[in-house]
Structure 1
Amino acid sequence: MEITSFEQFELNRQLLNAVAELGYTEPTPIQQQTIPLSLGNHDVLGIAQTGTGKTAAYLLPLLMKIKYPQGEAPRALILAPTRELVMQINEAVSELGKYTGLRHLALYGGLGPKTQIETLQKGVDLLVATPGRFMDLYRLGEIVTKNIRTLVLDEADKMMDMGFMPQIRSILEIIPTKRQNLLFSATFGGRVERLSAEFLESPVKVEVTPQASTAEMVSQVIYEVPNFRTKINLLDYLISKDAFQRVIIFARTKTTAENIYKFLARKVVETDKIRVIHANKGQNTRINAMDAFKEGNVQVLVATDVAARGIDVAEVSHVINFDLPLIYEDYVHRIGRTGRANHAGAAITFLTMAEEYHVQKIERIIRMTIPREPLPANVEVAETPFDEQQAMLREVDEQRRKENPEFQGAFHEKKAKNLPPGKARSIAKAKETGAKKPVSSTTWSRSGGVSHKAGGAKRSGPRGGRR
């Protein structure tokens, strides 16, 4: 039977009223398949990319089952990998369960446990938690697990990437074995498959999109850039355009995120319209930044991957990968921050020579070739500093060794002070391109050719030909 409305799920009136108030009319594919299975007490393995409605897919049947406040110990547990995602799920519980009276609590680190403990002692029906904080409070004797009958693992692939397997195994040992289990993941790699075999009992697999697919509403493009400075110049050009109304910029490291933030706040975006979040930021700072971004008071959010799965904003216009993630599945989650709730979005990736290796791996995972476009004419292509060029060449050699352990390395480091003026860069370029003579260029093409001359201008001879 085709399911076209939430009324067909036979949920109670409290839940249906909340769903209607949120403006949901037709269930998404993951909801159409998961909700009946969950209500039927089946274990479920859900493979669904972010933005498909999977949170409501497991929350609605879960709230239907626990129905109303009862006792003091929790009866359901949802585990998520990051505090941002825990907060997002807990907010969804508030919205969907607003008429049920159910007591719920978000448990995460970064804040002192005192307030969380006080709430636990008053009694809760549903916990949403990071594995680490859950185990911390359990060891303190503040969590009673004997009544837990439903366990949900959300973003299981990210849990594996973040090394939460020991805590998850510890949690599985202390909660009742007779329970319903639901596991959701955007990808289904080997580690997630092993976890599902260990965690689920005769699960029904629900896969609404191909594994590691990217959102259909998201357009993707790559710009090849030679160095960090050119990335900054390109970012300056893009953010200044009117279309970039609500943007998330992802950086690989905290230092890079801070540098991007300082540059944009100084030159491009009004200070009160930009925020930066990463692991070194205090929890309250991160919460306030996320709230301001969701409310539309902030135009640009600069973040490390700590935020890749914790932002649920329907109208993010652009995601910019200032540099690529080294955990390749995170590319899917990054760009999944845009193109949500049937809104179109764009994902833009900046790519250096050393990152070419990573984008090829990502393209295999998402089973598509990401289109490439030339740099806009107004973007200044900066010269690559000697030290940055050396670092990229070393990285390329290391990548080749990963593919071929017998590779001896094509790059031999030279100290700049031992080279004649102007030769350091040209020798590095010659090694990069395989040319017999040094070349002068500022970026590369995918085939290894040179696409820009130093200085950016073509020289003409007396007859108009190139010299």
Structure 2
Amino acid sequence: MTRVHVLFFIQDIPLSKLQRLQTNGCVRDKRSPRRSSYLHRAKPGVAKPSYLCEMEITSFEDFALNRQLLNAVADAGYTEPTPIQQKAIPVVLGNHDVLGIAQTGTGKTAAYVLPLLMRIKFAQGTAPRALILAPTRELVMQINEAIGQLAVHTDIRHVAIYGGLGPKTQIERLQAGVDIIVATPGRFNDLYRLGEIVTKDLKVMVLDEADKMMDMGFMPQIRAILEVIPRKRQNLLFSATFPDKVERLSSEFLEAPVRIEVTPQASTAQMVEQVIYDVPNFRTKINLLNYLILQESFQRVIVFTRTKTNAENVYKFLARKVIEAGNVRVIHANKGQNTRINSMEAFKEGNVRVLVATDVAARGIDVAEVSHVINFDVPLIYEDYVHRIGRTGRANHTGEAITFVTMAEEYHVAKIEKIIRMTIPRRPIPNEVEQTETPFDEKQDMLREIDEQRRKEDPTFQGAFHEKKNPLAARATKRPVVGRGGATRAKSGSTSGAGSGLKKRSTSGGPKSASRSASANRGGKKPRSGRR
């Protein structure tokens, strides 16, 4: 039971439901400011004042949701709201802009979908009244599925629009009339330019997984969307992490937002045990993965790789050597949309035991009982670590997140540990796992990567093999030779000996140098004595 302190506006709530709110601790607060841009003329029997609420949230009944939504919540098996729902739902119902910082798997989708459905109430007209933007197709489908689950007892219409598929079906759905659009920014802009989306009735805009949108470079598309939607609207921004770029976006996108943070920034799920294996090379990573996958406790596993190439290589190895081909699937950006959807559904339904994925797919995987997440590669976008391991330990289930780390990846692990404010424990590689010798080329690649990391920290650092890489510097240390006219010069081109009055047979030059100089003079070449 959590005691929540929130200040919010009750708007379009029947007085009968207001009385229930008052019995739960809501009292009139005359001192609170009003946001006139969002309040409209009161209707008979409807409450409009601002209320200061101190409520003990024990069930969804405490939010004064309508009966259709409460029935849908019960059908979905939700018994009591999560912390983000406890804090966000009253504020969103009060028509405030919201900046929500919460990990994946904390119920944040329902935290904005429920009050959004409460505001829309029923189907009306043909133009959308709410827009939800998400960075990936998988997340768009997941959000749209959640809306369908919670709006099952209403006639509210919703559609998911995203790339990778032809737009014909999506256009037909839009033309038939829609109340909520869930979209990726790129496809939304495409259909808007075709004249298939009318934005004049939009009252609410949601940015979900805002940090990932920034990482994927969606800011220009988001700004283009902000230019074509009404200025008077409610804005909701949710993010698992809060880096500087998301802070800049929030200042640009939100108006006097209520900040809701249920966990420290970039913290990792409390139900997830994290561990690191120090692994010398790629082949040993494969051997360790082989060993772990065969353990009985690894019931449902997601293996994350940094690149599409590694994802394919890991998938082919597992399908060929470790488990039956039908028990493992791979999803990445090069896979067709239908293939990705089918693989995700098979994994959710338990027909596939192991899913190999790149970070592109990380945000769209919502499976309650993932036993293990294996980071085959350490992510280079450090916040992605939080999102990766957030695939396990969901919905009060425990999980384990395992990360394979080579010496070239230690730099990135240190950065991740700084973000999540903890040191990830290390575990020795089991004796049963063969640790192979690192090939020369792979070792050189790792050393070069380490050099590059050190340069990031120290711009003056010139590399572990600086002398080999800089032959001029190496030659500068060699003995000088006697040049024409008896001047001593270093092979590097140094003129430190020039004009010093040394004889042809100098001690440092040696007899060979002197004889070469003499033969040059015998051939008719006169020593240079200066500019004529």
Same fold per superposition (TM over 0.5): yes
Q: Distance in 1 between matches of 2:154 and 2:66?
A: 10
How far does the alpha carbon of each residue in 1:228-254 deviate from its partner, in whole angstroms, 9 at most, with x for none? 000000000000011101000000000
How far does the alpha carbon of each residue in 1:387-428 deviate from its partner, in whole angstroms, 9 at most, with x for none? 00000000000000000000010136989xxxxxxxxxxxxx
Q: Distance in 1 between matches of 2:94 and 2:152?
A: 24
Counterpart AA for 1:11: L
TM-score norm. by structure 1 comes to 0.88
Q: Distance in 2 between matches of 1:90 and 1:8?
A: 25
Aligned CA-pair RMSD: 1.0
Q: Distance in 1 between matches of 2:254 and 2:304?
A: 34
Partner of 1:451: none
Percent identical: 81
Residue 400 in 1 paired to residue 449 in 2?
no
Partner of 2:344: 290
Residue 15 in 1 paired to residue 69 in 2?
yes
1:151–1:181 Cα contact (<8 Å) kept: yes
Partner of 2:371: 317
TM-score norm. by structure 2 comes to 0.77
Residue 385 in 1 paired to residue 439 in 2?
yes
Residue 110 in 1 paired to residue 164 in 2?
yes
Q: Distance in 2 between matches of 1:192 and 1:232?
A: 36
SS of alignment partner, residue 135 of structure 2: coil
Aligned-residue offset at 1:101 = 1.1
SS of alignment partner, residue 2 of structure 1: strand
Partner of 2:236: 182
Q: Which of the residues 242, 247, 251 maps onto 1:197?
A: 251
Q: Which of the residues 133, 137, 143 maps onto 1:89?
A: 143
SS of alignment partner, residue 373 of structure 1: coil
Aligned-residue offset at 1:382 = 0.4
1:221–1:371 Cα contact (<8 Å) kept: yes
Partner of 2:403: 349
How far does the alpha carbon of each residue in 1:167-217 deviate from its partner, in whole angstroms, 9 at most, with x for none? 100111100000000000011111111110110000000000000000000
Partner of 2:206: 152
Q: Distance in 2 between matches of 1:390 and 1:38?
A: 54
SS of alignment partner, residue 303 of structure 2: strand
Q: Distance in 1 between matches of 2:309 and 2:97?
A: 42
Counterpart AA for 2:422: M
Residue 236 in 1 paired to residue 290 in 2?
yes
Structure 1 pair 324–372 and aligned structure 2 pair: CA distance change class (3 A): same
1:397–1:411 Cα contact (<8 Å) kept: no
Higher RCO structure (Cα 8 Å, ≥6 apart):
1
How far does the alpha carbon of each residue in 1:265-294 deviate from its partner, in whole angstroms, 9 at most, with x for none? 011111111000000000000000000000
Aligned-residue offset at 1:7 = 0.4
Q: Distance in 2 between matches of 1:411 and 1:322?
A: 29
Instruction: Extract structure 1 runs of 4+ deviating beyond 4 A.
Output: 412-415
Q: Which has the larger radius of gyration?
A: 2
Q: Distance in 1 between matches of 2:450 and 2:311?
A: 23
Q: Distance in 1 between matches of 2:465 and 2:240?
A: 38
Aligned-residue offset at 1:2 = 1.1
1:393–1:411 Cα contact (<8 Å) kept: no
1:394–1:411 Cα contact (<8 Å) kept: no
SS of alignment partner, residue 364 of structure 2: coil
Q: Distance in 2 between matches of 1:25 and 1:10?
A: 15
Partner of 2:357: 303
Counterpart AA for 2:235: N
Structure 1: 5+ residue stretches without partners: 416-467
How far does the alpha carbon of each residue in 1:128-168 deviate from its partner, in whole angstroms, 9 at most, with x for none? 00000000000000000000000000000000000000010
Aligned residues between the structures: 415
Partner of 1:455: none
Q: Which of the residues 305, 313, 329 maps onto 1:259?
A: 313
Q: Which of the residues 271, 276, 282 maps onto 2:330?
A: 276
